[in-house]
Amino acid sequence: MGKPTGFLEYPREETIERKPLQRLKDWKEYTKKQPEDMLKRQGARCMDCGTPFCHIGIEINGAAAGCPIGNLIPEWNDLVYRGKWKEALDRLLKTNNFPEFTGRVCPAPCEGSCTVELAGPAVTIKNIEKAIIDKGFENGWIQPRIPNKRTGKKVAIVGSGPAGLAAADQLNQAGHSVTVYERADKAGGLLTYGIPNMKLDKDVVERRIKLLRQEGIDFILNTEVGKDITSEELKNQFDSIILCTGAQKQRDLTLPGREAEGVHFAMNYLTQATKRLLNIEVSEPFIDAEGKNVIVIGGGDTGADCVATALRQKCKSIVQFGKHPKLPDVRSDANMWPEQPNIFTMDYAYEEATAQYGHDPREYSVQTKKIVSDHNGRLKELHTIQMKRTSDDAGNMVFEEIPGSEKVWPADLVFVAIGFEGAELPVLKEFGVEINNNKVNAKHGDYRTNVDGVFAAGDSRRGQSLIVWAIQEGRDCARQVDLSLMGSTVLP
């Protein structure tokens, strides 16, 4: 695929981004449109490998390796190299319902498993994917696909995140009548209210929702199952139900002083910021970082998004605490290809903070010991200690405090971004499905719960994960639902 010697002739060319200080002035996407000649060169770098590991889609040591949705990456790389963009789009849409989402926010495990990476930098697969779908919309190649006939079967999907949307898209194309229930005022789940606009423009999400509506999918917003409609009503109205409620139960801190005014969950903060951007009224007091000393606890992507959001709100200072040591610049011996590389990178938010303040905002191996408030109960400071990672007598990795490394940090706002515990349980209990470790008990590949006619897919079933796993489960679950309704299935 591509040019046989392309990976030897052409270097990897990274995503072209707007300058950090320039993009801090607005909330627009931080990346630029990539030049077509550059994309063709990058497509040419795709090797004619015997086994293209980029789309193996498996888990190694708990992390994705290759594309979970099995994107036909070498094929559309080759077509882009040859300038056949329409054909590349056709290949891309065979496996991916929403390349405009994955091409923007997926961490690209495909690139970590790219065969070229054995000898040098991987092919820029994610960039090419985004360019293909964007060109498809720009040229009017993406049009509503109205099913020729309906089966008479009705399916309800609870939750409109990537898993729910993928399942809805597939089942609608199979001819079933699909209704998606969403408790928020806009569809999209975390695509809308969890990922900031500078990573995923909300017009991109809304464009896809509009297309799905045109294709015949009904979206019922501002409707919470168990509150506005019961599970029994849904069971009586629909032939099958899919639970795609996500894993939105945020993990909390158990620290002295957690109740201080000024300590907030990260997702609440990000949701409010997006609502203000979209001119949607927020009922609770608005969380504004302007002029404040901000600390983010948690070293993941959600924490990085909090950093970028606070910067745009003109915070006074920003620090992000992570409990792990700084990652190495190259793969360690324990992190071999084709695993996702666990190496040091500069996310968009950290580039922006460095440009604004002259240093990376991340602090490593930090353990917060307590939160201190003033006499009015308002957040005042955080007390921390440095940690070191060692092995115990059994060989297990443990963290130990380093005596004398205590530090006090002034803080006006703290955002808790330490991950998610699993699905929110009220809606799951409403259906009476079995729950295991805050997740719906349903087998991957089958997706049936213990309740007849009720299936589960995405993060509500597997726990906090990647958007590509959510799409994979939504597609795969749709196939199982179609099979149960019709006795056979035409879905891939």
- Are residues 191 and 327 both part of a single domain? no
- Are residues 426 and 482 both part of a single domain? yes
Structural domain contains residue 149: no
Locate the DSSP E strands across 256-299: 263-265, 293-297
Q: Which pLDDT belongs to residue 155?
A: 98
Query: Locate tokens 């594309």: which residue?
Result: 67
Q: Is 357 helix (H, G, I), strand (E, B) or coil?
A: helix
- Are residues 177 and 312 both part of a single domain? no
- Are residues 266 and 410 both part of a single domain? yes
418, 434, 465 — which closes off a domain? 418
Q: Which pLDDT belongs to residue 61?
A: 87
Looking at the structure of the chain, the number of domains it has is 3
Structural domain contains residue 147: no
- Are residues 241 and 328 both part of a single domain? no
Query: Based on C-alpha coordinates, what's the Rg of the chain?
Result: 23
pLDDT < 50 positions in the chain: none
Cβ neighbors of 220 (< 8 A, separation 6 or more) are 179, 180, 181, 182
Q: Which pLDDT belongs to residue 1?
A: 66
Structural domain contains residue 146: no
Rounded distance between C-alpha atoms, residue 158 and residue 245, angstroms? 6
- Are residues 257 and 403 both part of a single domain? yes
**Torsions phi, psi of 137, nearest 5?**
-70, -40
CATH number at residue 467: 3.50.50.60
- Are residues 52 and 164 both part of a single domain? no
- Are residues 161 and 129 both part of a single domain? no
User: Strands 420-422 and 249-250: what pairing?
Assistant: antiparallel
Structural domain contains residue 1: no
Its pTM stands at 0.95
Structural domain contains residue 492: no
Q: Which pLDDT belongs to residue 392?
A: 84
Number of H helices, E strands in the chain: 18, 20
**Torsions phi, psi of 245, nearest 5?**
-85, -5
**Tokens read off for 251:** 């993990």
Peptide bond into 328 cis (omega under 30): no
CATH number at residue 62: 1.10.1060.10
- Are residues 269 and 343 both part of a single domain? yes
Structural domain contains residue 491: no
**Tokens read off for 75:** 């094929």
Structural domain contains residue 83: yes
Rounded distance between C-alpha atoms, residue 444 and residue 453, angstroms? 16
Structural domain contains residue 302: yes
Which range marks the domain in which residue 479 is found?
Answer: 154-248+421-486
- Are residues 222 and 265 both part of a single domain? no
Inter-residue contact 28 to 201 (CB < 8 Å):
yes
138, 167, 189 — which closes off a domain? 138
- Are residues 479 and 405 both part of a single domain? no
Q: Which pLDDT belongs to residue 50?
A: 85
Q: Which pLDDT belongs to residue 250?
A: 96
- Are residues 293 and 353 both part of a single domain? yes
Buried b (16+ CB within 10 A) or exposed e, 299-324: beebbbbbbbbbbbbebebbbbbbbe
Q: Which pLDDT belongs to residue 397?
A: 84
138, 170, 193 — which closes off a domain? 138
**Torsions phi, psi of 244, nearest 5?**
-130, 55
Q: Which pLDDT belongs to residue 396?
A: 85
